[in-house]
Amino acid sequence: MNSMEGLVTQIQGLSSTASDVLMLQNLLKQANDSLHAESTRLLPFLDQLDPSKHSLGYLYFLEACTAGPITKEQASSYVLIIARFLSSCVSEQIRLASHKFISVCKRFKDQLVLLGEPLRGVALMLTAIRKFQSSTEHLTALHPEFLLLCLLAKSYKTGHSVLEEDIFEVDQPKDLFLYCYYGGMICIGQKHFQKALELLHNVVTAPMFAVNAIAVEAYKKYILVSLILHGQFSTSLPKYSSSAAQRNLRSLCQLYFDMENSYSNGKIGDLETYVQSNKERFEHDNNLGLVKQVVSSLYKQNIQRLTQTYLTLSLQDIANTVQLGSVREAEMHVLQMIQDVEIYATINQKDGMVRFLEDPEQYKTIEMIERIDSSIQRLMILSKKITLTDELMSCDPSYLSKGCRERQKFDFDDYDSVPQRFNV
Amino acid sequence: MASSSSSGLTFKLHPLVIVNISDHYTRVKSQLSLPPSLTSTSSAATSNNNNNNSNGGENNQNPPPRVYGCVIGVQRGRTVEIFNSFELIYDPSTRSLDRSFLEKKQELYKKVFPHFYVLGWYSTGSDAQESDMHFHKALMDINESPLYVLLNPAINPAQKDLPVTIYESELHVIDGVPQLIFVRSSYLIETVEAERISVDHVAHLKPSGGSAATQLAAQLTGIHSAIKMLNSRIRVLHQYLVGMQKGDIPCESSVLRQVSSLLRRLPAIESEKFQDDFLMEYNDTLLITYLAMFTNCSSTMNELVDKFNTTYDRHSRRGGRTAFI
């Protein structure tokens, strides 16, 4: 106990300047084991420390406290303590002990899930992320936890705000996988299918040596979202996806591939029978809701196909071709699509004719100029980043050893001054 | 010898004269810098124009050759307009002017341009020299007060004005001895439409051998510098007007009138159709730039992906090149 009190006084004394804090960090590292040994009795000491001034010390104590198993009664009190800590801690100090911070936040999330109140944690986790990440382009281990809380709490909007940012730095690959997967699910929840497709695409094409479960689940959802959005799905993965993914994912998601076959026929009846027969398997994957959305999107795809053939069409004909029940339903569908700006058409109610129009965008307005200009600026920034990464990659020793060895054997017609054997 | 002239004459110089002089000089200089074996044979052929052919063995280390010629034009009242020029043969060391050549040329030009007179002569160099006075006096029998047009062929990128100066001769009493000295006069540049087109053409001539990319870049650089200059001039005007408004600068109504007339001339076209077409073309250019950036970015990305695949993919394809998908 004496050592604990001594530690507390030291924390209080050494938390003012940066050099003191570094000294303090060393002390705390040495005292780590003794902290863990005394974990059950550390709670009263926490009151002596102020989280905003002594963030580092507080963090060590807190982490030792929450390291062991926690019961439900303790969970609510711990949640309060951690909440107070998260809202008032100082970012420079917590970054010094990043692993501890991450584990504290994870325990926080676990406790909230245990208590069944994920909503309480959403805003706090957001502040924790903001304090922890070194820049908005940095993906930390906290991001997937945060998104999981958002999903459980169904607060999609807050989650979406985090997804808007571009990521350029990742700590751990598992973070990226989970982040993109959860992010994709949040976007599906908000019906932003385009963004969901991008995120799920990231999971599927991310570099991996062996196929992991996250990628498999993501691939299933990816197929479904792609069907909803585009009405089609390319069966081959792009060349920048890992070879492990390219070979194995297909066999693991065969069910969904077959669904794509029946989708492309355009017949609602076939699709519905297929869904019905495989219902349990879809439910097992928690994808049944998405599958039902796919079925309803088939109508949209059929109507879209009509716009490419006909200039005007009567509502009755639309209903017949698309196998909708009545003219009413056809009108509702077309109206919905016009509102969502998926097609351009006008409905003449007097004689029930629909005229399909061209995209009225003339690209002549000043707003369009500003849009294109901002896109060009963004693209320039991105291009610089990619060139930088490319240069870094060219200097990478593993690339040089592999790349040069291959070229030596096979590029006789394109001889250039690459040395034959690169000893690194 | 360069005080300002007091004759009160206004000189107008046409760009054709400047182009002629610079062409003459460039020709002579390039013929002079041939390799030694060729210079001796060519010097015989170019003996008219070569002033330094005694030094046939050397090339560019020589001081640059001076070229001489005559300027012709019209004098109406107090305005002297210099339209054209032709070359002359003159050796400053012997001070011999080929009179017959000069007269023959004069006759020829008289047939084509009956109104033009010999107004003076030109030469190249950085400053007027004493020896030039002899040539000047030699021409005085054709024209009582000839002009001396001097072109400085040294390229100075910092210089903003034309390196052309016009000198007149005046009789001054120096140390009790009346002497003719050169005095500088100001001049204006006057262009005819044909000259404007040719000057524009010459200005846009770039060294040949550039690929399409460098030619495009050169053209765009030219436009960019023109716009930049326009911008800076407008800024100067703007500052001037703001100062006048604040009261720091005394109000000058003549300047204000000129500015307001300039402003009323713009915008040149203000119709709906113009706006439409203009925006459409603007958008098209932006889209093309966007497309170009996209292509650039995708190709970098493709290379990056290739590198990544060769490095980290355990089962990458061996042999041959991977196709660009």
Query: A362 to chain B: which residues are within 8 Å by CB?
Result: 280
What local confidence, expressed as pLDDT, does residue A222 receive?
Answer: 87
What does pLDDT average to over chain B? 79
Dihedral in degrees, nearest 10, Cα atoms A230, A236, A241, A244: 130
What local confidence, expressed as pLDDT, does residue A145 receive?
Answer: 84
Q: Which pLDDT tens digit goes with each residue over B150-162?
A: 888 887 776 767 8
Confidence of residue B232 (pLDDT cuts 50, 70, 90): very high
Q: Burial of B171 by CB count in 10 Å (0-12 exposed, 13-18 middle, 19+ buried)?
A: exposed
Of A368, A375, A390, the CB nearest to B303: A390
Domain assignment present for residue B135? The answer is yes
Task: Give 10-residue mean pLDDT values along chain A (424 residues).
Answer: 72 74 78 74 73 75 74 76 80 78 82 80 83 81 85 83 81 85 88 87 83 84 85 78 79 81 78 82 80 82 82 82 78 83 82 82 83 91 90 84 65 53 49
Domain assignment present for residue B87? The answer is yes
Cα gap A85→B258, rounded to integer Å? 71
What local confidence, expressed as pLDDT, does residue B295 receive?
Answer: 94
* Inter-residue contact B204 to B226 (CB < 8 Å): no
Residue B174: strand, helix, or coil: strand
* Inter-residue contact A293 to A299 (CB < 8 Å): no
Cβ neighbours for A158, distance < 8 A, ≥ 6 positions apart = A122, A123, A126, A150
How long is chain A? 424
Confidence of residue B315 (pLDDT cuts 50, 70, 90): low
CA distance B272 to chain A (A): 12
Would the pLDDT of B287 be above 50? yes
C-alpha distances out from residue B22 to B12, B152, B276, Å: 18, 9, 45
What local confidence, expressed as pLDDT, does residue A411 receive?
Answer: 52
CA distance B284 to chain A (A): 8
Residue with tokens 């003459």: B24
Kindly determine whether residue A240 and residue B308, on different chains, have CB atoms separated by under 8 Å: yes
Residue B144 CB neighbours (<10 A): 8
Chain A: residue whose CA lies nearest to B318: A406
Confidence of residue B1 (pLDDT cuts 50, 70, 90): very low
Question: Most A CBs within 10 Å: which of B274, B311, B316, as the mutation test of the A interface?
Answer: B311
Q: Are strands B117-124 and B147-151 parallel, antiparallel or unpaired?
A: parallel
Domain assignment present for residue B231? The answer is no
* Inter-residue contact B155 to B166 (CB < 8 Å): no
pLDDT mean over B99-109: 88
Cα gap A71→A53, rounded to integer Å? 30
Choice among B50-54, B72-76, B268-272 with the minimum mean pLDDT: B50-54
Q: Which pLDDT tens digit goes with each residue over B291-304?
A: 999 999 999 999 88
Would the pLDDT of B316 be above 60? no
* Inter-residue contact A337 to A303 (CB < 8 Å): yes
Kindly determine whether residue A387 and residue B301, on different chains, have CB atoms separated by under 8 Å: no
Count of CB pairs separated by less than 8 Å, A with B: 84
Cα gap B222→B289, rounded to integer Å? 19
Query: B300 to chain A: which residues are within 8 Å by CB?
Result: 383, 386-387, 390
Domain assignment present for residue B142? The answer is yes
What local confidence, expressed as pLDDT, does residue A140 receive?
Answer: 83
Confidence of residue B4 (pLDDT cuts 50, 70, 90): low
Kindly determine whether residue B297 and residue A243, on different chains, have CB atoms separated by under 8 Å: no
Q: List the CATH number of the domain containing B147.
A: 3.40.140.10
Amino acid at A352: G
Confidence of residue B325 (pLDDT cuts 50, 70, 90): very low
Total domain count for chain B? 1
Residue of A367, A366, A283, A299 whose CA lies nearest to A331? A299
Question: Most A CBs within 10 Å: which of B273, B310, B315, as the mutation test of the A interface?
Answer: B310
Question: Most A CBs within 10 Å: which of B278, B305, B316, B324, as the mutation test of the A interface?
Answer: B305
Q: Which helix (H) or strand (E) element contains residue A44? A: helix A43-48
Kindly determine whether residue B304 and residue A207, on different chains, have CB atoms separated by under 8 Å: no
Domain assignment present for residue B91? The answer is yes
> B122: which strand partners?
B69, B149
Cβ neighbours for B22, distance < 8 A, ≥ 6 positions apart = B151, B153
Which has more pLDDT, A288 or B48? A288
CA distance B305 to chain A (A): 6
Domain assignment present for residue B251? The answer is no
Cβ neighbours for B182, distance < 8 A, ≥ 6 positions apart = B1, B2, B128, B132, B133, B136, B148, B167, B168, B169
Cα gap B149→B299, rounded to integer Å? 57
CA distance A415 to chain B (A): 14
Q: Tell me the two tokens of residue B261.
A: 């007339």
Cα gap B27→B8, rounded to integer Å? 36
Question: Most A CBs within 10 Å: which of B296, B302, B313, as the mutation test of the A interface?
Answer: B313
Domain assignment present for residue B203? The answer is no
Sequence spans of domains, chain A = 1-133, 172-303, 315-356
Cβ neighbours for B37, distance < 8 A, ≥ 6 positions apart = none
- Domain residue limits at B151: 10-31+64-189
Kindly determine whether residue A410 and residue B320, on different chains, have CB atoms separated by under 8 Å: yes
Residue A173 touches chain B, beta carbons under 8 Å: no
Residue of A215, A194, A213, A214 whose CA lies nearest to A205? A215
